Structure 1
Amino acid sequence: MSTSQLVAQHLPFLRRYARALGGSQSAGDAYVTAMLETLIADPSTLDRGVDTRVALYRLLTRLWDSVSINAVSEPAASTFHGENRLGHITPVVRQAFLLVSLEGFSEEDAAAVLEIDVPTLRHLVADAGRELAAEIATDVLIIEDEPFIALDLEGLVEGLGHRVTGIARTHSEAVSLARRKTPGLILADIQLADGSSGLDAVNELISGVEVPVIFITAYPERFLTGVRPEPAFLIAKPFQPSTVAAVISQALFFERKARPREQRATA
């Protein structure tokens, strides 16, 4: 496959990444154009020893980093939904967040793009969560029946700068807590202590409210079948704290409800 063919299949996503980095379509496209011109002039600039997608994003990121003005926060205003929230985020932290949350890279591949190790990548993603929380701190309801996991989630959420309004172990507790104070984000286990469903609790809570939801379960394969509606944000147990931090930031950044493509997150 030729270099042009390799690039073509990734081009729309490279433009999206560059646009989010630059803060506008014109700025993003300028960097993608510069990347293409670099490849045309010297195809060897594309690292052949790694996955093509990683290599392309690495080259684009190198070009971005080579311009000194990009070391400063505050990208230009943009019409891309959510990008205005990236303005105050440190550039390298912004890169890490976008690679994991917007572009869907694994931690290993995102680290390879940025040419850093995975622990450093995790620190950057956690920093993104804290910096975003400074802009969009919210109240979080945790629905989790395992005490140690609930405490871990509480510490993680508060460490990112958000506020935990309560921890519910059952459907009825979740509804009661939500009625006292409407949360801005919900972290929910799917199977609760009394045998009730976290999905049912969430559906009741968000029936008339726009609230992003992240489901956490030890049995993700039961819900990621492709046969029925699936939660938009789903984390498998046991989880990495950095994964939870990244998904929290992603859910709040894009202001999406963690419902499926259809109306309800049914089980």
Structure 2
Amino acid sequence: MRSDVPPPATPLRFLCLEDNPLIVMHLEQMIEDCGHVFVASLESFADLREQFDAMAVDCVLVDIDLADGRTGPEAASWLADRKVAALFVTGQERLAQEFRHLVVGIVAKPLSLRALKAGLDQITLRGVAK
């Protein structure tokens, strides 16, 4: 994917909490096109709890429905408790709005580079990444 997006001053490290491998591949490419670093992806909230401490990430992109059910909001709350920035990336915008207080922003699926970059910019501009 070609991008005319200028690189950020400081690249952030992103984890994707998403159970669809095609979406993960798309997100990975777009994160890198925006000048940031894709660290890894996990498929469930259970995986996040088990593996997060071993990862050095600045922000987590969170889907609503994961491999272990509709646990995205629970994952966002868990991340907020740990002062880790999260961004919902979901096709369920209405449901995501109910949990808006837990995340920096919401990016709707289907994904576009422009929309994802706007979401990533919210994280950078607010200075909420660790």
Return the offset for 1:229.
5.4
Residue 108 (structure 2) pairs with residue 236 (structure 1): yes
The percent identity for this pair of structures is 22
Match of 1:253 in 2: 125
Residue 60 (structure 2) pairs with residue 178 (structure 1): no
Residue 180 of structure 1 aligns with an amino acid whose one-letter code is A
* Structure 2 CA distance for partners of 1:223 and 1:246, relative to 1, 3 Å: closer
* Structure 2 CA distance for partners of 1:223 and 1:164, relative to 1, 3 Å: closer
Residue 22 of structure 2 aligns with an amino acid whose one-letter code is F
Separation in 2, partners of 1:153, 1:202? 18
Question: What is the CA RMSD across the aligned residues, in angstroms?
Answer: 2.2
Query: SS of the residue aligned with 1:165?
Result: strand
More strand as a share of residues: 2
TM-score, normalisation: structure 1: 0.43
Separation in 2, partners of 1:253, 1:152? 24
More helix as a share of residues: 1
Residue 199 of structure 1 aligns with an amino acid whose one-letter code is P
Larger Cα-atom Rg: 1
Separation in 1, partners of 2:113, 2:21? 16
Return the offset for 1:142.
0.6
Higher RCO (Cα < 8 Å, 6 or more apart): 2
| Aligned partners of 1:166 and 1:177 also within 8 Å | no
Residue 40 of structure 2 aligns with an amino acid whose one-letter code is G
* Structure 2 CA distance for partners of 1:206 and 1:178, relative to 1, 3 Å: farther
Separation in 1, partners of 2:104, 2:79? 16
Query: SS of the residue aligned with 1:223?
Result: helix
For residues 94-109 of structure 1, the aligned pairs below 5 Å read none
Separation in 1, partners of 2:97, 2:55? 31
Return the offset for 1:169.
0.6
Separation in 2, partners of 1:238, 1:245? 14
Residue 96 of structure 2 aligns with an amino acid whose one-letter code is F
Give the unaligned 5+ runs of structure 1. 1-121, 258-267
Separation in 1, partners of 2:90, 2:74? 14
Task: Say which of 219, 222, 231 aligns to 2:92.
Answer: 219
Give the unaligned 5+ runs of structure 2. none
* Structure 2 CA distance for partners of 1:207 and 1:160, relative to 1, 3 Å: same
| Aligned partners of 1:139 and 1:163 also within 8 Å | yes
Separation in 1, partners of 2:92, 2:39? 26
| Aligned partners of 2:66 and 2:72 also within 8 Å | yes
| Aligned partners of 1:140 and 1:163 also within 8 Å | yes
Residue 35 of structure 2 aligns with an amino acid whose one-letter code is G
Match of 2:62 in 1: 188
Residue 236 of structure 1 aligns with an amino acid whose one-letter code is A
Q: Deviations over 1:22-42 (max 9, x none)?
A: xxxxxxxxxxxxxxxxxxxxx
Query: SS of the residue aligned with 1:182?
Result: coil
TM-score, normalisation: structure 2: 0.82
Q: How many residues align?
A: 126
